[in-house]
């Protein structure tokens, strides 16, 4: 054990285990999580070469092998609870992905939710025994989130009772679905349904794409890998071009809409249930933001504790870089953010499960708020975490660029969350739509419920600079007062966006133009709303914590999170009259004080995230702090070191010399 990092741990002011239990949601959950982790980590079948040393084809190969093993292991251990499966897999996968991901996350759930009873009976056993390996083919080369724009067609032919699937243009080629390129033999294809000469919009069709015996592409199917990406090397995101591919009528998922044998189209009753799945996935991503950021912070903080650099005082040894204020200012607010997002993730998951119960009983009343919240928070947390991972990486100096730090892999694996499951700006605008609607309802005297109820409060309709009409400006040492300030800032920005929208309507040709011409304000309002929710939930979490020492350190973190946000957006708070200019200087000083207060607990705060070395897969983030020995060992395994002299020397350098 590196003595620097041991000393850090001795200095912690709180009991680590208590904090870890809070993060897990209870001591029993911690115990079970560790049990599952040990199953994977001690399993020789999951030992493999670092994927960074492999070619893309080898990585894909290793990932398929791992996926197949996970299936067998989960059965062997009898792990069937979805949360435990998720946990098992995330350890086994590490920072990498599995080509079967979409099979589990989209293909089987879609079959379950959109098949008739008869269809389910036919397809589910095939999917669960992996004879069918499926993907979900929605996005096209030229079309993303706007589903009405999708071009793939499924035309019903009553003479044979088949659908004929076509990709009529280059831009209609299905593009991006995970596992589509090489792994899947079926795809749920989203296509515009034509029957009896009419288009009935997007519907889902189970489409065989490869032979279940030979795995060769079927006639009329052009399928392949879309090529290398920024990360996700081990996944075969694919393309699919359909040329008059015929499938039986029964392959349309018919739980809701139907096409009868003669081609008569029967409308679906409602689509609210699919809406629920989307909300669930976005809520999960909030938790992913916390995980990606907490892993990155763990690596950066531990490394900063063992890394010595430059000198603070002449003649003294080089200090730990964690002692530099500039380093603390980069990393401690991110640790606070990781905690904040973790608690928000817990809240979203709990809320989703509560509301799901209501939905199953036909009560959809809370769904719109959760929908709006999950969209905005998905965008807010992924953007912040995305930038934060890079700050962590760059805080490690040169070594943060080495793949052995794991930080590049964490980044490339996480960054797509900013785009998939709803592009972030689109998400922010969805939340804004809900906020503006709520604001108008409040103005019309309606009593709002839930998180947006603050839009009812009279303080939210104050004019700029009317500080006197508010009880007081913020108390920068009081978290409750800061939560209020975030609330008023959000209210102010929602009001500004709504008013600008109203004003714009007088010049614009349409509602849609007015909306577009105020997108900047709308995104800003959503962002402030989400920021308020995060600060509020972090503060609320504190009241649940009994242990004094843990409460104390988390309170300091929460205050840091809140004040750091105020400092970054000080213009907003000044504009809303929530802050005075002299307070800005006080906040700067207070922030420095908070960094010093947190310094002794920095390592313990990331240790509490409880990532085992095998999960971080980072030489810089090692628990024992023995960074350099392991970097050297890792480097020796680089493929370029397999031979002492690379063949290019003989091929190019020797001839070059002879020509000069």
Q: Which residues are annotated as a binding site for FAD?
A: 139, 178
Restricting to residues 593-652, which ones interact with a copy of itself according to CB under 8 A? 628-629, 631-632, 634-641, 644-649, 651-652
User: Any bridge partners for residue 206, and if so which?
Assistant: 188
How far apart CA 632 and CA 639 sit, in angstroms, is 14
Out of 30, 161, 171, 351, the residue judged to bind a copy of itself by CB under 8 A: 171
Q: Of the candidates 598, 575, 600, 573, which has an alpha carbon nearest to the alpha carbon of residue 587?
A: 573
Structure tokens that stand for 563 in this block? 């004040």
Quickly count: other Cβ atoms within 10 Å of residue 197's Cβ: 7
By rule CB under 8 A, what string of x and - marks binding of each residue 178-207 to a copy of itself?
Answer: ---xxx------------------------
Residue among 197, 445, 458, 655 that touches a copy of itself (CB under 8 A) = 655
Cβ closest to a copy of itself, residue 159 vs residue 509: 509
Comparing CB distances to a copy of itself, the nearer of 32 and 56 is 56
Minimal distance in Å, beta carbon 403 to a copy of itself? Answer: 4
Give me the half-sphere count of Cα atoms (radius 13 Å) on the Cβ side of residue 303: 30
521 binds a copy of itself (CB under 8 A): yes
Instruction: Spell out, one character per residue from 585 to 604, where the chain touches a copy of itself: x when CB under 8 A holds, - when not.
Output: x--x--xx------------
Of the candidates 1, 45, 160, 230, which one interacts with a copy of itself according to CB under 8 A?
Answer: 230
Distance of CA 564 to the CA centre of its chain: 23
Q: Which is the catalytic residue, given 8, 151, 288, 421? A: 421
DSSP codes of every residue in 622-635: -TT--HHHHHHHHH
Binding mask 388-427 for a copy of itself (x = CB under 8 A): --x--xx--xx-xxxxx--xx--xx--xx-xxx--xxxx-
- Draw the binding track, 319-348, toward a copy of itself (x: CB under 8 A; -: no contact): ----xxxxx-xx------------------
Binding segment for a copy of itself among 34-42, 166-174, 294-302, 477-485 (CB under 8 A)?
A: 166-174
Min CB(312)–a copy of itself separation in Å: 5
Site for a copy of itself in 343-382 (CB under 8 A): none
Of positions 15, 116, 519, 552, contacts a copy of itself by CB under 8 A: 519
- What are the Cα distances from residue 59, in Å, to 44, 48, 181, 480, 625? 18, 11, 15, 50, 29
Of the candidate residues 15, 124, 130, 597, the single one contacting a copy of itself (CB under 8 A):
130
**Does 526 engage in binding with a copy of itself (CB under 8 A)?**
no
Q: How far is the CB of 157 from a copy of itself (least distance, A)?
A: 28
DSSP labels, 119-180: HHHHHHHHHHTTSS-EEEE--BTTB-S-GGG---EEEEETTTTEEEEE--SGGGSEE--TTT
User: Is position 313 an interface residue for a copy of itself (rule: CB under 8 A)?
Assistant: yes
Our finding on whether 225 is near a copy of itself (CB under 8 A) is yes
Structure tokens at 262: 């003669």
Which residue shows structure tokens 């694996």? 413
Question: Rounded to the nearest whole angstrom, what is the least distance from the CB of residue 627 to a copy of itself in the complex?
Answer: 8
Output the smallest distance, CB 522 to a copy of itself, in A.
8
How many residues bind a copy of itself (CB under 8 A)? The answer is 148
Cα dihedral across residues 70, 74, 76, 77: positive or negative: positive
Q: Smallest distance from the beta carbon of 19 to a copy of itself, in angstroms?
A: 27
Kindly tell me which of 436 and 550 has the beta carbon lying closer to a copy of itself.
436
Find the helix or strand (DSSP H, E) in which 371 lies.
Answer: helix 367-395
> CB of 217: closest distance to a copy of itself in angstroms?
6
Tell whether residue 657 is a contact of a copy of itself (CB under 8 A): yes
**Cα separations (Å) of 490 from 130, 348, 459, 496, 550?**
49, 20, 11, 10, 30
Give me the half-sphere count of Cα atoms (radius 13 Å) on the Cβ side of residue 77.
18
The nearest distance, CB 266 to a copy of itself, in angstroms, is 26
The footprint of a copy of itself on residues 246-305 (CB under 8 A) is none
**308 binding a copy of itself? (CB under 8 A):** yes
Which residues belong to the annotated binding site? 139, 178
Which range in 84-92, 105-113, 285-293, 515-523 contacts a copy of itself by CB under 8 A? 515-523
> 242: which residues sit within 8 A by CB, 6+ positions away?
152, 165, 166, 167, 174, 189, 207, 220, 221, 222
Q: Concatenated DSSP letters for 480-540? A: HHHHHHHHHHHHHHHHHHHHHHHHHHTTSSSHHHHHHTTHHHHHHHHHHHHHHHHHHHHHH
For residue 60, CA distances in Å to 51, 66, 93, 179, 237 come to 9, 10, 13, 10, 11
Positions 440 through 459 that interact with a copy of itself (CB under 8 A): none
Scan residues 43-62 and list those touching a copy of itself (CB under 8 A). 52-53, 55-57, 60-61
Q: Are 372 and 530 in contact (CB under 8 A)?
A: no
Q: How far apart (Å, rounded) are the C-alpha atoms in residues 82 and 75?
A: 13
- The answer to whether 647 is a known catalytic residue is no
Q: Which of 109, 220, 224, 368 binds a copy of itself (CB under 8 A)?
A: 224
Does position 569 bind a copy of itself by CB under 8 A?
A: yes
**Which one of the spans 13-21, 26-34, 134-142, 445-453 is the region binding a copy of itself (CB under 8 A)?**
134-142
Site for a copy of itself in 70-129 (CB under 8 A): 71-72, 75, 129
Q: Is 531 in the site for a copy of itself (CB under 8 A)?
A: no
Enter the tokens of residue 69. Answer: 């093993």
Least Å distance, CB 402 to a copy of itself, is 6
Q: What kind and span of H or E run contains 429? A: helix 424-443
**Is residue 174 a contact partner of residue 192, using CB atoms and an 8 Å limit?**
no
Residues labelled catalytic: 421
């Amino acid at each position: 054990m590196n003595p620097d990092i041991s000393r850090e741990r001795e200095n912690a002011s709180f009991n680590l285990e208590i904090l870890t239990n809070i993060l897990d949601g209870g001591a029993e959950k911690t115990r079970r999580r560790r049990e599952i982790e040990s199953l994977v980590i001690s399993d020789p079948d999951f030992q493999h070469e670092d994927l960074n040393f492999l070619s893309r084809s080898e990585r894909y190969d290793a990932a398929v092998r791992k996926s197949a093993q996970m299936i067998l292991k989960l059965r062997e251990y009898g792990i069937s609870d979805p949360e435990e499966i998720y946990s098992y897999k995330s350890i086994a996968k590490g920072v990498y992905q599995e080509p079967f991901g979409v099979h589990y996350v989209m293909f089987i759930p879609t079959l379950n939710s959109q098949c008739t009873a008869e269809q389910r009976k036919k397809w589910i056993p095939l999917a669960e025994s992996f004879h069918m390996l499926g993907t979900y083919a929605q996005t096209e080369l030229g079309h993303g989130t706007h589903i009405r724009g999708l071009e793939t067609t499924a035309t019903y032919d009553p003479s044979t009772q088949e659908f004929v699937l076509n990709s009529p243009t280059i831009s209609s080629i299905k593009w991006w679905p995970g596992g589509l390129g090489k792994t899947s033999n079926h795809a749920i294809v989203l296509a515009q349904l034509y029957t009896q000469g009419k288009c009935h919009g997007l519907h889902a069709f189970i489409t065989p794409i490869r032979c279940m015996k030979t795995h060769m592409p079927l006639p009329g199917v052009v399928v392949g890998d879309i090529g290398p990406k920024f990360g996700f090397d081990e996944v075969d995101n694919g393309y699919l071009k359909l040329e008059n591919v015929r499938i039986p009528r029964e392959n349309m998922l018919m739980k809701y809409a139907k096409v009868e044998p003669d081609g008569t189209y029967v409308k679906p009753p409602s689509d609210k249930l699919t809406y629920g799945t989307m909300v669930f996935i976005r809520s999960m991503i909030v938790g992913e933001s916390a995980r990606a950021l907490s892993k990155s912070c763990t690596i950066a903080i531990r490394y900063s504790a063992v890394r010595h650099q430059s000198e603070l005082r002449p003649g003294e040894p080089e200090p730990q870089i964690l002692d530099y204020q500039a380093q603390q200012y980069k990393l401690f607010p991110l640790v606070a953010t990781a905690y904040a997002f973790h608690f928000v993730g817990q809240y979203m998951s709990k809320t989703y499960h509560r509301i799901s119960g209501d939905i199953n009983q036909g009560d959809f009343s809370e769904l719109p708020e959760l929908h709006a919240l999950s969209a905005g928070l998905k965008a807010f947390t992924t953007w912040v975490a995305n930038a934060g991972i890079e700050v962590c990486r760059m805080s490690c100096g040169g070594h943060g660029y080495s793949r052995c730090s794991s930080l590049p892999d964490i980044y490339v694996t996480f960054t797509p969350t900013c785009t998939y499951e709803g592009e972030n700006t689109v998400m922010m605008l969805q939340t804004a739509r809900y906020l503006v609607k709520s604001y108008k309802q409040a103005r019309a005297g309606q009593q709002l419920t839930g998180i947006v109820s603050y839009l009812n409060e009279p303080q939210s309709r104050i004019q700029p600079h009317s500080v006197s009409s508010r009880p007081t400006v913020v108390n920068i040492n009081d978290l409750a007062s800061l939560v209020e300030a975030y609330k008023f800032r959000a209210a102010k920005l929602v009001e500004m966006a709504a008013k600008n929208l109203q004003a714009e309507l007088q010049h614009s040709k349409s509602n849609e133009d007015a909306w577009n011409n105020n997108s900047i304000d709308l995104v800003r309002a959503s962002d402030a709303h989400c920021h308020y929710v995060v600060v509020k939930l972090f503060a609320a979490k504190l009241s649940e914590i009994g242990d004094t020492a843990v409460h104390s350190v988390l309170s300091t973190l929460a205050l840091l999170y809140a004040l750091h946000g105020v400092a970054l957006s000080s213009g907003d708070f000044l504009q809303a009259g929530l802050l005075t200019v002299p307070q800005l200087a006080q906040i700067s000083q207070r922030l420095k004080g908070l960094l010093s207060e947190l310094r002794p607990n920095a390592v313990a705060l990331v240790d509490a995230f409880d990532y085992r070395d095998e999960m971080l897969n980072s030489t810089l983030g090692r628990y024992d702090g023995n960074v350099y020995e392991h970097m050297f060992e890792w480097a020796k395994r680089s493929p370029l070191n397999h031979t002492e002299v690379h063949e290019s020397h003989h091929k190019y350098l020797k001839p070059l010399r002879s020509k000069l």
